[in-house]
Structure 1
Amino acid sequence: MLIVGEEILNQSLLKDADRRHIKNSSYYLTIGAIIPVGKEANSFDFNKPLQMLVLKPRQVAWVVSKEVFSIKSHEITALVTLRSTFTKMGLLALDVGMVDPDFEGPIGSIVINFSKNDVPLNTGDEFFRVAFIKHAEVPAEFRTKRDQFTATQYIQERHRDIIVGFPETFLNTEILSDEMAAKISGKVADDVLDKLLMHLIKNHWGKLALIALIITTAVALLIYFLYSKFGPNLSQADVQAIVKTWVDQNFPKQLPSKP
């Protein structure tokens, strides 16, 4: 069963809630803090947080709700989704979903701009949509101790996460593009060499065979000369055996037919 309307306020499921944001069967959470990612994160001022951020294409930011959850019942779970207005504008929220019973604190999510347009984010914007679900009481053996955060503590935790592990743009495209270019150039070079070799074999196998014969003859003569001058006396059969072994090791037994 959904908890709707004034009951959301009466049961004190949200601190700093405003009835103006109750719409249909949901409550629309508003933006309380915007934490930038990248260079701006290093200069983020907790005493003077951003009031507005223009999210560029592929840019990443962390958005934190103004409202603070205070679900003290083990019979209530909240389901949070990104407001469809922002979804249609090309934003994706990575960390929204279920808010467990007995949770206290704001919620936040990394958001990515997948569109080709700038998307402005302002504190006070209705950003997340939450539905409160009434259900049977969660048995004690399945209850997990939930961390409790004030809004300030939560923002500090998320800011620390951003500094440690998030690039300014989705998938760090500058690094990925360099790596991809290097791989592509290497593959292109290998493909070109392979195609050139196959072209020579298929279309000029006669000339290649003649060249191979000339090289073989030259090598045989060289081997015969060296052994006659510096090596032990060799019979003609010995020379032929040496040449045959070299040919078998360095030339294919069959050449492809010309198409």
Structure 2
Amino acid sequence: MVLTSAEIAQKEIVGNSVANGQRATTYDATVGCIIKDGCEISGNSHTLAPRGIVWVVSAETFKLPADVTGLATLRTTWTHDGILALNVGIVDPGWDGPLAAALVNFSNTNFVIKKGDNFLRLLFHGHDQCYPKIIKKTPDDYKKDIINKSRMFSDSFLSMDRLVSEVTEKVFSVPKFVIYLTLTGLALAAASIFAPMAYSVWSDNRNIAADLRSRVESVEKEIDDLRAQSSAAARLRNSEAHLSGSDRMGAPIQPSQPASPQQIRPVK
């Protein structure tokens, strides 16, 4: 069962509550202090650069009884602006102290965090009585814990400049002969891969060229045979024409025979 604002107040869950944090069924925790690189920001605001990380501690304290569990999420308005909270979630029964979140700016523009801004929205669920472990943190002790935690974090999330610098330093600190051996190994590996492929392509092209050359020679031979046959046929036709003309010119002329007396009839 979700507790209403009146039930939250009745159970005295929120200490140091402010009016602008109270909602119908939730409470918005406000920024109490801002911590970066193990130090508390002294001013009233902090500009969070792109990929920057800061810790924000609530101005309120939260005391959850044995029959209430809390759920903390970052304000939707901040998430729409590109801010992500790394460690929000369940607030267990028995917790008594402030709440904090590590915030990362995933946008491409600066984001200003001011003390007193609403940053966490808490929803409280009522349930049957349980027997939780009581954890009590004073605001000062809790702040010291967050300061120590912040020292373990980088000042920026996925800092590309630092990453490139570290990689470059490690690469160029390697002895030159190791780099040469590595490059030689890569070259030999590439040769072992591409040399067989190149030989196969060259061999295939050579076989194709040889086959084409053989076919061209065969076609040329057939053309020569056809030309020879055509020339022989022409010579044969010329010889036959010459012999036919000679026969007509040398044939003897047969004399005409005189008519026989029987063939001569008198004229009546």
CA contact (8 A) 2:32 2:116 kept: yes
Match of 1:167 among 128, 151, 154: 154
Q: How far, CA to CA, are the matches of 1:10 and 1:19 in structure 2?
A: 15
Q: How far, CA to CA, are the matches of 1:258 and 1:191 in structure 2?
A: 28
Runs of 4+, deviation exceeding 4 Å: 178-183, 188-193, 256-259
Match of 2:261 in 1: none
Q: How far, CA to CA, are the matches of 1:23 and 1:192 in structure 2?
A: 67
TM-score (norm 2): 0.64
CA contact (8 A) 1:30 1:66 kept: yes
Q: How does 1:133-172 map to 2 (within 5 A)?
A: 133-138=125-130, 140=131, 143-146=132-135, 148-163=136-151, 165-172=152-159
Match of 2:45 in 1: 52
Q: How far, CA to CA, are the matches of 2:134 and 2:96 in structure 1?
A: 11
Q: How does 1:19-30 map to 2 (within 5 A)?
A: 19-30=19-30
- Shift, 1:36, TM fit: 1.2
Over the aligned positions, Cα root-mean-square deviation in angstroms equals 2.9
1:63-113 Cα deviation digits (max 9, x unpaired)? 111111122x20011110000011111111111111111111000011111
Q: How does 1:30-109 map to 2 (within 5 A)?
A: 30-37=30-37, 41=38, 44=39, 49-71=42-64, 73-109=65-101
Q: How far, CA to CA, are the matches of 1:194 and 1:114 in structure 2?
A: 41
CA contact (8 A) 1:59 1:169 kept: yes
CA contact (8 A) 2:51 2:159 kept: no
Match of 2:190 in 1: 195
CA contact (8 A) 2:96 2:134 kept: no
Cα 1:26–1:193 shift into 2, 3 Å? farther
The letter for the 2-side match of 1:64 is V
The letter for the 2-side match of 1:20 is N
Match of 2:255 in 1: none
CA contact (8 A) 2:61 2:96 kept: yes
Q: Please say which structure displays the higher CA radius of gyration.
A: 2
SS in 2 for 1:136: coil
Unaligned runs of 5+ in 1: 207-255
CA contact (8 A) 1:6 1:19 kept: no
